[in-house]
Amino acid sequence: MSAGPVVVLAGGVGAARFLRGLVRVIPREDLVVIGNTGDDLWWQGLYIAPDLDTVTYWLAGVADESRGWGLKGDSFTAQNALAGLTSAAWFQLGDRDLATHLYRTGRLNAGAPLHQVTAELAERLGARSRVLPMSDDPVETRLKTDAGDLHFQEYFVRERFRPSVREIYWTGIEAARPAPGIAEAMSAARAILIAPSNPAISIGPILRVPGMRALVSAARARTVAISPLIQGRAVKGPTVELMRAEGIRPDALGVAQLYREIAAGFVLDAADASLASAIAAMGYRVAVRPTLLDDLAAAREVAAAALDLLRQPAAA
C-alpha cells in the first residue's frame, strides 16, 4: 500500500474504541482523525469539544474507558461545588478534564483557530496521531423534539435522550468549511475509514460540511465504512432513533445506502452476514467480522479487516 496517512471520520466513544484497535495495525503517526464538532458547546463560559476530547484521550491512553468520556481516575470536586451553586450543572466536568477546557477556551479567546488548539492538546496529551476538527467554524447539532428545540447535549445528557425526535438540524453548517489540512490529508490518504459512529449525528455533520462529501467521494476507491449497528441495534445510545429521524433505515443496509457514493468497502457485523450480498450488490467490497468493539483484540481485527478490503484486487 502506498504511503500517505490513514484518515478516519470519527464521532465519539464508538470511534475511539475503533481507533484504539486501528493504531495496533498501523503506525500511530500515520493516523489523521477528522472529528465531529456538532456536539461542541459553550458551558459556563468554557468551550467543550466532546468528540475531539474523547478521541484525543483514548488515543493518548488516558481516557476513562468504562465511562467512555473524560479522564481515567478524574475527581469531580469543582463539579460538586458547582452543583452547590446552580441546578444547571447537568454536564459534568472532571477536575483534570477542566484543565483541557480552560486551556482550549483561553487559546480560542486569544484568537487561535480550533484546529490549532486541537493539535496542541493532542500533542501535549500524547495522542501521537493528528486530530483535526471537521471545521474551525461554529456548527451546532440541534434537535426538534417533543421537549422543545434542544442542543445535542441538552437532548443527550440533560434529557437522557428520552424526548422523541422530529428533526435534526445544524446551525452554521452552510458557512462552515473543512478545517485546514483536511483536503491535503484526504487526497494523500492511502485509506479513508468511516468509523462505527452514529451516521445521523456524528458522521452526518462531518459529511454536511460544504465540500467534505466531494473530498471523500473523490477517494471512494480507498474508503471503507464500518457498520455502527449490529442486527439493527446500536451498541448503546439513541443511534436508531436518530437514524429514523433522518429517514435512514436503521440497520446495516441503511448505513450502506447512506455511504454508497463515498465508500467502496463495508465491514459488516457477523450477525448481519445475511445482508452481505445486498450490500455487495450496491457496489461494495464486503468483509464480515464481529464488530462489537468491547475489547482491543476485536477492535484490532475490525481495523485490519477494513484495511484488507483495500488490498483486495478490485471487485470484478
Q: Which stretch binds ligand FO1 (CB under 6 A): 10-18, 108-116, 166-174, 214-222?
A: 10-18
Q: Which is nearer to ligand FO1, 25 or 157 (CB)?
A: 157
How far is residue 126's CA from residue 108's CA, in Å, rounded to a whole number?
21
Sign (positive or negative) of CA dihedral 223, 229, 230, 232? negative
User: Considering the complex, what minimum distance in angstroms separates the CB of residue 54 from ligand FO1?
Assistant: 5
Tell me if 21 contacts ligand FO1 by CB under 6 A. no
Counting Cβ atoms within 10 Å, is residue 168 exposed (0-12), middle (13-18) or buried (19+)? Answer: buried
Tell me if 227 contacts ligand FO1 by CB under 6 A. no
Tell me if 156 contacts ligand FO1 by CB under 6 A. yes
Q: Which stretch binds ligand FO1 (CB under 6 A): 87-95, 142-150, 168-176, 221-229?
A: 87-95
Q: Which is nearer to ligand FO1, 4 or 170 (CB)?
A: 170
Q: Which is nearer to ligand FO1, 11 or 204 (CB)?
A: 11
User: Considering the complex, what minimum distance in angstroms separates the CB of residue 270 from ligand FO1?
Assistant: 25
Whether the Cβ atoms of residue 193 and residue 224 lie closer than 8 Å to each other: yes
How far is residue 56's CA from residue 58's CA, in Å, rounded to a whole number?
6
Give the closest residue to 90 by CA, choosing from 140, 159, 148, 37: 159
Q: Which stretch binds ligand FO1 (CB under 6 A): 103-111, 153-161, 174-182, 256-264?
A: 153-161
235: its cell numbers: 451498541
How far is residue 28's CA from residue 247's CA, in Å, rounded to a whole number?
36
Of residues 55-84, those binding ligand FO1 (CB under 6 A):
69-70
How far is residue 5's CA from residue 193's CA, in Å, rounded to a whole number?
11
User: Considering the complex, what minimum distance in angstroms separates the CB of residue 200 from ligand FO1?
Assistant: 12
- The residue written with cell numbers 496521531 in the block is 129
User: Considering the complex, what minimum distance in angstroms separates the CB of residue 108 from ligand FO1?
Assistant: 16
Tell me if 129 contacts ligand FO1 by CB under 6 A. no
Helix 296-311 and helix 13-22, axial crossing angle in degrees, nearest 10: 70
How far is residue 85's CA from residue 160's CA, in Å, rounded to a whole number?
22
Of residues 244-283, those binding ligand FO1 (CB under 6 A):
none
Residue 41, SS3?
strand
Whether the Cβ atoms of residue 44 and residue 92 lie closer than 8 Å to each other: no
Q: Which stretch binds ligand FO1 (CB under 6 A): 11-19, 211-219, 268-276, 299-307?
A: 11-19
| Residue selected from 5, 6, 10, 11 as contacting ligand FO1 according to rule CB under 6 A | 11
Whether the Cβ atoms of residue 200 and residue 143 lie closer than 8 Å to each other: no
| Residue span 31-60 as binding mask against ligand FO1, x where in contact by CB under 6 A, dash where not | --------x--------x-xx-xx------
157: its cell numbers: 445528557
Q: Which stretch binds ligand FO1 (CB under 6 A): 85-93, 183-191, 263-271, 277-285?
A: 85-93
How far is residue 284's CA from residue 253's CA, in Å, rounded to a whole number?
11
How far is residue 50's CA from residue 153's CA, in Å, rounded to a whole number?
10
User: Considering the complex, what minimum distance in angstroms separates the CB of residue 8 from ligand FO1?
Assistant: 15
Helix, strand counts (H, E) of the chain: 13, 14
Q: Which stretch binds ligand FO1 (CB under 6 A): 24-32, 91-99, 104-112, 123-131?
A: 91-99
Tell me if 135 contacts ligand FO1 by CB under 6 A. no
User: Considering the complex, what minimum distance in angstroms separates the CB of residue 262 from ligand FO1?
Assistant: 21
Binding site for ligand FO1 (CB under 6 A): 11-13, 39, 48, 50-51, 53-54, 69-70, 91-93, 97, 153, 156-157
